Amino acid sequence: MTFFVSFEVHKDGKPDRTETIEGGIPQNYVLSRSLDGTPLSTFADNTWDFTPYGAQSKWSFDSWNKGERDELHLILQEEIKTILWLSMFNPSLNSSRAGGINSFSSRVTLLRALANMAYRLNTSLLIAAESPQFQVALRSSITSATHTRAFSGPQASPLSLLLRDLHSMAHQDDIALNIKLPIIVPESSMEDLLILARRSYHEAEDNRKQTPLIPTRILANLISGCEKKLSEIEPLLKNILDFVDGIKSNPLLWCDDGLNYQSNLKRINSKQTATWGALKESAVGKEETVERYELTGFFKKWNINDLKSFQAVLKKHQLLASILVHAYTGMRKSEIKVMPYKSYIEHEVPHFGKVGFIVSHLKKFSVDNYSEALLWVTGGPIESIIKISQKISRIKWRYATNDPFIESQSPLWPSNSARKTKNANHYGCSLADLSQYTEWKKGESCSLLADIDGIIIESSDMDELMAFDAFRNWDEDPRFEVGNIWPLSTHQFRRSVAVYASRSGMVSLPSLGTQYKHLSKAMTALYAENSSFAQAFVLEDGAVPKEYGILAEFQRAQAFNTSVIFHEKVIAAESKLSGGRGTEIQINKDRNALPKIMKTREWTEKAVRDGRMAYRETVVGGCMEKDICDKYGIDEVLPCIFQCSDSIVGGDSGKKLVIYAKGLEMGLDDMDKGSLAYKATQKELELIKVKLLDEEDVIL
């Protein structure tokens, strides 16, 4: 097979051609020449110069990684050079050469992005097709990348063309025998991934710049920082309400001079006729007023010198609370803005326990266009966050008006001037602007978030983003430079919540584990298509309506993640499986007779998406119960091992059981030896050790 360039070049400046690639691509292969025949680039070079042939610039295979030029960097560098050389000099390919030399520029950009992704996931492109983490990152990047030249195209994207070329060349004998060619994605996933690419492109046509994920470290710190600040103000809210009651009813409070007195009269709409001279001896100055209500530390901490700055601090805490509602629900800004005062409810879910929900409405929200209430499942300390917000709401209402506060008719987020206004909205009063923290200007910090620790962008955050949103050119956006405060916007929460809540078991999220553990389980249980909640509150004609777009994204992501982890932990498990379903699967594996939905990851994903199959990891292995387990939270281990028909135990030579048993043994030290709990734990340990004897190569 002869390898040569087929696009038009001057006869005196043609690159080399070779009749064979036995032993690999020749390092001295001349890729380009000047018009006088002088060699410009060889395969061994890390910068290729095709400008005499019409390229806009030289192509670098070194600058894609700003970090250390270690062994993995060199491997990836060689891999993307090999892929590009085969793309350009393989005469059997037509897809990449249709546009001449410029058609390869986007492929260079794409290969650099893929190399960067692989580097940050500590894998080469050669084994990327076998890496679940790389496949998750690739899908995440495709979903986010419709705005980039490396991804989108008028007919077929450069990514689609590249993948098709790689899989085509992998079946060419001359290449297969002599070159280790990466195929990026497994052949069984090709069509599914290309469908995802096309769907992502069409869904985002009207919004070419997709919103980035919030890095997990920053999101965790943002959540904990906001929670900390709200917990600090919560004990003071009664005093603050008393302070507002005081200055609303007595113009001589918060009064240092005659100007203050006149301002107070006007603010509270008082008909007081006495002069300042007659009353000044009875006046209470600002500092003394604050001391009277035991708020000196609060006013000093927030540098409150007047009532305008006092209102600004209340508004800031409203914004902090709204951030947490975003983070624990994925709701849109418009949906949060119109939340009613009574916006938190709980439902008792059989075999699961109490589940919290946020009540709100759609953005079309006016007196004559008022949507029905919708529910968003939530997690974390959201109930206490809503209670704090309710107290702030009452304070702001009392400050703004003497009208009675009616809970059933009031918003959760009134503005600083929450007076009744005609036809303002369903509540009849102005609502707070909850988007001020989204503003960002070069060289400036967002004052709302500036004093929250751990939200300054670090290199590790960019590593995460470059892996899971690899096709975005992060270097061109100054907002994301290391050292900046994360440029937060409300749009980022919707996608981040859906993605992170669905990734349980797939990607390590230690910083978010506590916050999203319950939310992930609740979303899984309640938004399943066959759940009573979904049937009653979510689904319309069996489908998720656009108002619940976060749920559709959660379901898609979870179906993929579940299929990957199932095949990695169960189908590809080398040691023996046991348990109700585990034994059945092991027998079918031994007989090479797995059911269709377990034969490929793609069929598994479809089965999960359709509700025909379920899988989640447990402390002993896995569970394939499609409904909520009626033993959840009671005894997760013993029923899984000895009684449950849906359990999968083992597959890891007993490693999970050993870890769990050690934890139980440590817990015995804190128990009374005569207690029922001690005896039950001992019994559980004995049964687990018996089970471990059946496992291979277990060290007890």
pLDDT single digits (tens) 610-645: 889 989 877 678 889 877 665 544 344 455 666 688
* pLDDT reported for residue 371: 57
Q: Three-class SS of residue 467?
A: helix
Dihedral, CA atoms, 142, 527, 380, 411, nearest 10 degrees? 100
pTM given for the model = 0.72
Phi then psi for 306, rounded to 5 degrees? -150, 175
Distance CA 250, CA 363 (A): 40
Q: For residue 459, is it left (φ>0), alpha (ψ between -120 and 50) or beta?
A: alpha
CB 177 within 8 A of CB 137: no
Beta bridge partners of 540: 543
Give residue 526's pLDDT: 53
Instruction: Please give the pLDDT value at position 691.
Output: 66
Q: Which residue carries 């035991």 as its tokens? A: 294
Q: Map tokens 């135990």 to a residue.
A: 649
Please choose, from the candidates 118, 15, 22, the residue with its C-alpha nearest in 3D space to the C-alpha of residue 64: 118
Q: How far apart are CA 590 and CA 606, in angstroms?
A: 24
Helical H segments across 234-271, by residue range: 237-249, 258-267
Task: Provide the token pair at 322.
Answer: 């709204």
Residue whose structure tokens are 């708020």 = 295
Nearest to 287 by CA among 250, 309, 260, 256: 256
Partners of residue 543 on adjacent β-strands: 540
Calpha distance 78→66 (Å, rounded): 17
DSSP letter at 414 equals B
As averages over each run of 10 residues, the pLDDT of the chain (700 residues) reads: 79 87 93 92 95 90 86 96 94 64 85 93 93 84 61 60 91 92 89 74 54 86 92 97 95 94 88 86 95 97 94 93 91 87 83 78 52 75 95 94 88 78 63 64 54 90 86 83 89 79 48 56 53 43 52 70 85 87 93 93 87 82 75 48 78 74 72 71 76 55
CA angle 347, 389, 253 (to 5 degrees): 150
pLDDT of residue 111: 94
Provide the pLDDT for residue 521: 62
